[in-house]
Amino acid sequence: MNSSSPIAQKRCNPAEQRTCLRDVQRIVVKVGSSTISDGAHLNEAALDGLVHDLALVKQNGVEVILVTSGAIAAGWPQLGLKQRPNTLPHLQAAAAVGQIRLMAAYKDRFSNYGQRAASMLLTRDDFSNRERYTRMNDTMRALLHFGVIPIINENDTVAVDEIKVGDNDTLSAYVTNLAQAQLLVILSDQTGFYTADPRHAPNPELIHTVTTISDEIWQAAGAAGTTSGTGGMVTKLRAAEIVTNSGEMMVMAHGQEPLVVTRLLKGELLGTLFLPQSRISGRKRWIAYSRPPKGRLIVDNGARDALVQGGKSLLPAGIRRVEGNFDYSDTVSCFTENGVEFARGLVNYNAVILRNTLANIPKILKKSSVTAITTKSYIAITWSCSIDAVLSTV
Ligand code: GLU
């Protein structure tokens, strides 16, 4: 836990830690297919309960963004199939049919509470491309300004492997970063995060608070999952890592718990709370988490220290190796020679030029900004220098 976190300093037991959830003003709630469907039909009662809960949260003055799965589950029986398809075109067709039903189900229910809902269908490209990211952000903020509840799903009809986020746990973490919401709540068929997979281990214990996502926590995650959705504990932990390393909170809780979000925001001890590390800016969140790195720079310890501790430029002498095929302004990862990723930044040279430069002349890499990363937590530093400055340093 970073010392800048007020929670770390002031609150020490799980019940007390929950009181910080009372201050949340903007929330992202992610609901999985297993909560709002039986895998083949939407679960009307579960949807009734969820919308009632979120309408109450909204009436209490908290801005709500919903990330929902369930399109494929709601769609495939409509195609006359006997079981959930497994080919991409059939899954995409099922999602196209199901998405309408899913949105209609939410719209009708929210309007019973006088609430308006809007649909946003996103792919990974919308997060990778800075301009689309900014436009998407503007749209979301406009919707919130008008008091509308954005309802988000991946655009499964166009998403192929290269451009898809792949699971809605990760998508919801991206959305939390985009919206700079203080809290992500992931609702699933699990009560929270356990010391071991509760479906297989004899006596697992529910962990009320996760302060740091340590190696032990990763080991406890195993690879849980259901047939109706694509997520599992691993994707939920990955979401927690993105959200908490950006400086926000995440809760995992059971989606069938009555009024679960309302109760969480009152500070009730439900599910598992993942505590935040120190906050990083919107741009650094984008660099660190919203677009997959296209290449790797393996650097020596001196260069690592200069970046992480000194907030300095990456000097050519410190770059040991260039891996991958990146272009100008792509995101690259910086790795130590021991294989630990510690920074991500935007490059001002493509991989070919950089390799040639490293091979032939005093080598230069200029980045506009960088987010430094230690093994499990991300530490933001600002790094900006001109080529001239680097040349003169060299
Ligand atoms: N986008 C998929 C759907 O709506 C779900 C993906 C997921 O469950 O993570 O069915």
Name the more confident of 317 and 228.
317
Distance CA 292, CA 253 (A): 28
Strand (E) or helix (H) holding 133: helix 130-145
Q: Find the mean pLDDT for residues 243-259.
A: 95
Q: What's the confidence (pLDDT) of residue 316?
A: 65
Q: Kindly give the number of the ligand 1 atom that is closest to the alpha carbon of 73.
A: 10
**Contact status, residue 208 vs residue 272, Cβ threshold 8 Å:** yes
Whole-number mean pLDDT of the chain? 83
Closest residue (by CA) to atom 5 of ligand 1?
69
- Which of 259-268, 357-366, 369-378 comes out lowest in average pLDDT? 369-378
Q: What's the confidence (pLDDT) of residue 368?
A: 41
pLDDT-based confidence at residue 155 (cuts at 50, 70, 90):
very high
Q: Find the mean pLDDT for residues 298-304.
A: 87
Q: Where are the alpha helices (DSSP H) in 290-327?
A: 301-308
pLDDT digits (tens, 9 = 90+) for 206-217: 999 999 888 888
Pairing of strands 367-373, 378-381: antiparallel
Q: Kindly give the number of the ligand 1 atom that is closest to the alpha carbon of 235.
A: 9
Strand (E) or helix (H) holding 15: helix 14-17
Residue 209 pairs with which residues in a beta bridge?
Answer: 273
C-alpha distances (whole Å) from 183 to each of 77, 356, 377 are 34, 45, 18
List, chain by chain if needed, residues with CB within 6 Å of any ligand 1 atom: 32-33, 69-73, 95, 153-154, 156, 167-168, 229-231
Is the pLDDT reported for residue 299 higher than 50? yes
CA distance between the termini of the chain = 37
Distance CA 103, CA 19 (A): 33
Q: Kindly give the number of the ligand 1 atom that is closest to the alpha carbon of 229.
A: 8
Q: Where are the beta strands (DSSP E) in 48-160?
A: 63-68, 117-122, 149-154
Is the pLDDT reported for residue 376 higher than 60? no
Q: What's the confidence (pLDDT) of residue 277?
A: 86
Q: What's the gap between Cα 308 and its chain centre?
A: 24
Is the pLDDT reported for residue 180 higher than 50? yes
pLDDT digits (tens, 9 = 90+) for 39-73: 899 999 999 999 999 999 999 999 999 999 999 99
For the chain, what percent of residues have pLDDT higher than 90? Answer: 50
Q: What's the confidence (pLDDT) of residue 13?
A: 82
Q: Kindly give the number of the ligand 1 atom that is closest to the alpha carbon of 99.
A: 4
Residue to substitute in 69, 155, 188 for testing ligand 1 pocket (most ligand atoms within 8 angstroms of CB):
69
Contacts of 163 (CB under 8 A, 6+ apart): 123, 124, 125
Which range of 37-51, 158-172, 317-331 scores highest in mean pLDDT? It is 37-51
pLDDT-based confidence at residue 360 (cuts at 50, 70, 90):
low
Q: What's the confidence (pLDDT) of residue 381?
A: 35
Distance CA 106, CA 10 (A): 39
Q: What's the confidence (pLDDT) of residue 259?
A: 98
Q: Find the mean pLDDT for residues 293-302.
A: 88
pLDDT-based confidence at residue 313 (cuts at 50, 70, 90):
low
- For 15, other C-beta atoms within 10 Å of its C-beta total 12
